[in-house]
Amino acid sequence: MPGANEKKDCVMGVDFGGTKILAGVFDEKFECIARARVSTKADRGADEVIGRIARCVREAVDECDLDLKQIKAIGIGAPGAVDSESGKVIFAPNLGWNDVPLKKELEKLLDAPVFLENDCNVCTLGVYEVELKARPRDMAGIFLGTGIGGGLILQGKLHSGFNRTAGEIGHMVIEVGGPKCGCGNKGCFEALASRTAIFRRIKEAVKQGQKTVLTEMLGAELEDLRSGDLRKAIKRGDTFVEHIIEEAAEYTGIAAANLINLFNPEVIVIGGGLMEQLEEEMLSIIVETAMDYAMPGTTKGIEIIATRLGDDAGITGGAVLARKHVK
Amino acid sequence: MPGANEKKDCVMGVDFGGTKILAGVFDEKFECIARARVSTKADRGADEVIGRIARCVREAVDECDLDLKQIKAIGIGAPGAVDSESGKVIFAPNLGWNDVPLKKELEKLLDAPVFLENDCNVCTLGVYEVELKARPRDMAGIFLGTGIGGGLILQGKLHSGFNRTAGEIGHMVIEVGGPKCGCGNKGCFEALASRTAIFRRIKEAVKQGQKTVLTEMLGAELEDLRSGDLRKAIKRGDTFVEHIIEEAAEYTGIAAANLINLFNPEVIVIGGGLMEQLEEEMLSIIVETAMDYAMPGTTKGIEIIATRLGDDAGITGGAVLARKHVK
């Protein structure tokens, strides 16, 4: 029934990641009325990837019988350092991008206003505006995945800081001299509790003779290891994997305590693929450790929760970002 | 010449510490026109200490030939956790105070409006409003002394957070499993780089046979060791003390990098007694380490500087706090 959505006041959110692109059309209540997904194919270069983002946007629009002209704005979260003002991706190591004018190129292809932000900032914005009805003044988002990203809402607004790079929670050093991080330093939170860090620790231990049901499940090389496999191993009573996950949860709790001591947000929301798969195993340890490490008197009434938006946090946040610019 | 200051629009700033109380009368340009100092005598109990604060205030007023009635407001920085709304010192381990209604008691004694904040927040406010003419949007203050405290200015305002306890930079964990901290945790920044941590490390090493000119200067027990002695020892070529101070500066640089990655403030100002004595030895190492540890692309244009307010940061900030309430 084309035309049914004609009068809807719609925006588009795009979650642009290193392996996949998700696009969602959102109505004025931030309900997702259509979505599309394409793979990123980052190795084909920036032009090709930008074309694929445009294709994903068009597919989502088509899915709900709208015309691109009816989309008031498009909000995109991109991995890496983003200059939201100029609309450029400054530095995205996962994509091999440097200084790519994503906003300008997409606006050319789509003839619609495009707004850009760092992916974890966008997820934080989505959780804040759509999931947290009570609208705390200050909130932090921590996203545990291949890497660890984050975002800060301060005094009700996404905090971007002087170089618009704030929220790099994954690169807070919490163990001076600890394991090497992708950023070149040692002991970053990301190097201790990301999926990459967890997988590295498991593979190293297996090489040194550690027994685990993971090798029964996936073979000695642990090829195609995923977060879900860790959950399955723990369910099957694998105390080695359980211990590794407990440790990652403790590091996450310490990082959360640091945020409580530093800026005392009312809510800390934890998301990302790792959290989605292992919430049951990790969340209570994260909360307990954070409350233990935070200074006495600083934690009263502060909540640490898992987001319910799951994989939709990015497109939802993109829609919020778009909506901020059309109001 | 009594009466000369009669028409001045004055406020009072008080720096209330564990060992001494400083009070300063400030004119409308935040020039200090008179000051007084008394010792705290914390062991005599809260009532006696509050009386001494009042005495110090009266002495400063008398010094500049004013009458207490001419002081529009009094701003006080107190050590520990402070509830600025209720005007209570919630928890101050250095004083042995729990839940002391300092604002109410002082207002009774002085018949003038009193405003209360955490001491390091007050110092940060003083540096921000009086020293930094360019008024950055976001700024962090780090104060290295017996402990380590801090304060955050976000979007032009002192950030206090949900439980009004934000800015506890000294209790950010940067070395999981590191040395024990007074707060009960391990590896806090304060346990690694405060004067207390530095003195502990020196005394432990001396006990284990480490040679240092400090023992020639102060005897084998290093009684009455002060920050200034460390500077003297370094000037005399003591490479052991130099190394200890370098290490503390590196930890401070890592803490500053964490703040850059998290909030990306335009300016980080470093103060406190330790910094005042050892700026020449520490500042360049702090800056270098911070720039090295912060994520690529996050540091452009960000300044890390030492405050010029020295011991006056507290009274100046107190005056700023007072002025905010009379405007």
One domain for residues B216 and B319? no
One domain for residues A96 and A197? no
Contact A138 B162 (CB under 8 A): yes
| Smallest Cα distance from B48 to chain A, Å | 26
Residue B2 lies in a domain: no
Residue type, position A69, single letter: K
Is the minimum CB–CB distance between B284 and chain A shorter than 8 Å? no
Residue B1 lies in a domain: no
Helix/strand/coil percent split, chain B, to 5? 45, 25, 35
One domain for residues B317 and B292? no
A284 Cβ contact list (under 8 Å, min separation 6): none
Residue among A72, A74, A69 nearest A24 (CA): A74
One domain for residues B148 and B263? yes
B48 has a pLDDT exceeding 80: yes
Rounded-to-integer distance, Cα A12 and Cα A68, Å: 10
pLDDT, residue B4, reads 53
Contact B162 A266 (CB under 8 A): yes
One domain for residues A157 and A278? yes
| Smallest Cα distance from A111 to chain B, Å | 31
For the segment A78-122, what is each residue's pLDDT rounded down to a tens digit? 998 898 899 999 888 778 898 999 999 999 999 999 999 999 999
For the segment A11-24, what is each residue's pLDDT rounded down to a tens digit? 999 999 988 999 99
For the segment B199-243, what is each residue's pLDDT rounded down to a tens digit? 999 999 999 999 999 999 999 999 899 999 999 999 999 999 999
Rounded-to-integer distance, Cα B308 and Cα B292, Å: 25
Other beta carbons within 10 Å of B75: 31
Q: What is the DSSP letter of A180?
A: B
For the segment B118-161, what is each residue's pLDDT rounded down to a tens digit? 999 999 999 999 999 888 999 999 999 989 999 999 999 999 99
For the segment A219-246, what is each residue's pLDDT rounded down to a tens digit? 999 989 999 999 999 999 999 999 999 9
One domain for residues A299 and A317? no
Helix orientation angle between A195-207 and A273-293, rounded to the nearest 10 degrees: 90
Nearest CA in chain B to A83: B297
Residue among A119, A110, A122, A128 nearest A147 (CA): A119
B224 Cβ contact list (under 8 Å, min separation 6): B218
Q: E strands of chain A, at which residues?
A: 10-16, 20-26, 32-39, 71-78, 81-83, 88-92, 97-100, 114-118, 139-144, 148-154, 157-158, 267-271, 303-306
Residue A164 lies in a domain: yes
Rounded-to-integer distance, Cα B184 and Cα B13, Å: 32
The CA-based angle B293-B299-B301, given to 5 degrees, is 150
A257 in Cβ contact with A289 (< 8 Å): yes
B272 has a pLDDT exceeding 80: yes
Task: Name chain B contacts of A296, Cβ cutoff 8 Å.
Answer: 81, 91, 183-184
Residue A130 lies in a domain: no
pLDDT, residue A4, reads 53
Contact B160 A299 (CB under 8 A): no
Is the minimum CB–CB distance between A166 and chain B shorter than 8 Å? yes
Q: Is the dihedral of CA B78, B82, B84, B89 positive or negative?
A: negative
A145 has a pLDDT exceeding 60: yes
For the segment A290-318, what is each residue's pLDDT rounded down to a tens digit? 999 999 889 999 999 999 999 999 999 99
pLDDT, residue A91, reads 83
Residue B140 lies in a domain: yes
| Smallest Cα distance from B289 to chain A, Å | 11
> Six-digit token pair at A2?
């084309």
Rounded-to-integer distance, Cα B83 and Cα B88, Å: 5
B70 in helix, strand or coil? helix
CATH number at residue A174: 3.30.420.40
pLDDT, residue B7, reads 55
One domain for residues B24 and B90? yes
Contact A298 B136 (CB under 8 A): no
Task: Name chain B contacts of A168, Cβ cutoff 8 Å.
Answer: 261-262, 295, 298
Nearest CA in chain B to A140: B262
| Smallest Cα distance from A263 to chain B, Å | 4
One domain for residues B225 and B284? yes
A17 in helix, strand or coil? coil
Rounded-to-integer distance, Cα B163 and Cα B90, Å: 11
The CA-based angle B37-B41-B44, given to 5 degrees, is 145
What value does the mean pLDDT of chain A take? 94
| Smallest Cα distance from A36 to chain B, Å | 33
Residue among A279, A274, A273 nearest A304 (CA): A279
One domain for residues B73 and B193? no
One domain for residues B266 and B320? no
| Smallest Cα distance from B184 to chain A, Å | 8
pLDDT, residue A1, reads 47
Contact A262 B169 (CB under 8 A): yes
For the segment B9-33, what is each residue's pLDDT rounded down to a tens digit? 899 999 999 889 999 999 999 999 9
Sheet (strand A148-154) strand order: A157-158, A148-154, A139-144, A267-271, A303-306
User: In A, residues 56-75, which contact B (CB 8 Å cutoff)?
Assistant: none
Contact B183 A296 (CB under 8 A): yes
One domain for residues B143 and B103? no
Measured between alpha carbons, how far is residue B207 from residues A101, B182, B222, B240 in Å? 61, 22, 10, 14
A6 has a pLDDT exceeding 70: no
Residue A15 belongs to what domain range? 10-125+312-326
B3 has a pLDDT exceeding 60: no
pLDDT, residue B18, reads 87
B1 has a pLDDT exceeding 50: no
Phi, psi values for residue A283, rounded to 5°: -60, -45
Is the minimum CB–CB distance between A14 and chain B shorter than 8 Å? no
B95 in helix, strand or coil? coil
Question: Does residue A96 come out as left (phi exceeding 0), alpha (psi in the -120 to 50 range) or beta?
Answer: left
| Smallest Cα distance from A238 to chain B, Å | 26
For B297, how many CA atoms within 13 A lie in the half-sphere containing its CB? 17
User: In A, residues 289-308, which contact B (CB 8 Å cutoff)?
Assistant: 293, 295-302
Q: Could you identify the residue written with the tokens 């201790």?
A: A192
The beta-carbon neighbor of A301 closest among B137, B162, B293 is B162
The beta-carbon neighbor of B257 closest among A157, A165, A173 is A173
* Single pTM value for the model: 0.94
pLDDT, residue B315, reads 98
A186 in helix, strand or coil? strand
One domain for residues B198 and B257? yes
What's the domain count of chain B? 2
Residue B5 lies in a domain: no
Residue B4 lies in a domain: no
Torsion of CA A121, A125, A128, A130, to 10 degrees: -140
Is the minimum CB–CB distance between A152 and chain B shorter than 8 Å? yes
User: In B, residues 101-140, which contact A (CB 8 Å cutoff)?
Assistant: 136-138
B74 in Cβ contact with B113 (< 8 Å): yes
Question: Quick one: A113 exposed, middle or buried, by C-beta within 10 A (0-12, 13-18, 19+)?
Answer: middle
A223 Cβ contact list (under 8 Å, min separation 6): none
| Smallest Cα distance from B194 to chain A, Å | 17
Contact A172 B258 (CB under 8 A): yes
Residue A1 lies in a domain: no
Task: Name chain A contacts of B184, Cβ cutoff 8 Å.
Answer: 296
Is the minimum CB–CB distance between B238 and chain A shorter than 8 Å? no
What single string gives the DSSP state of each residue in B263-306?
A: T--SEEEEESHHHHHHHHHHHHHHHHHHHHHSPTTS-TT-EEEE
Rounded-to-integer distance, Cα A152 and Cα A137, Å: 11
Contact A297 B164 (CB under 8 A): no
What value does the mean pLDDT of chain B take? 94
Rounded-to-integer distance, Cα A320 and Cα A316, Å: 6
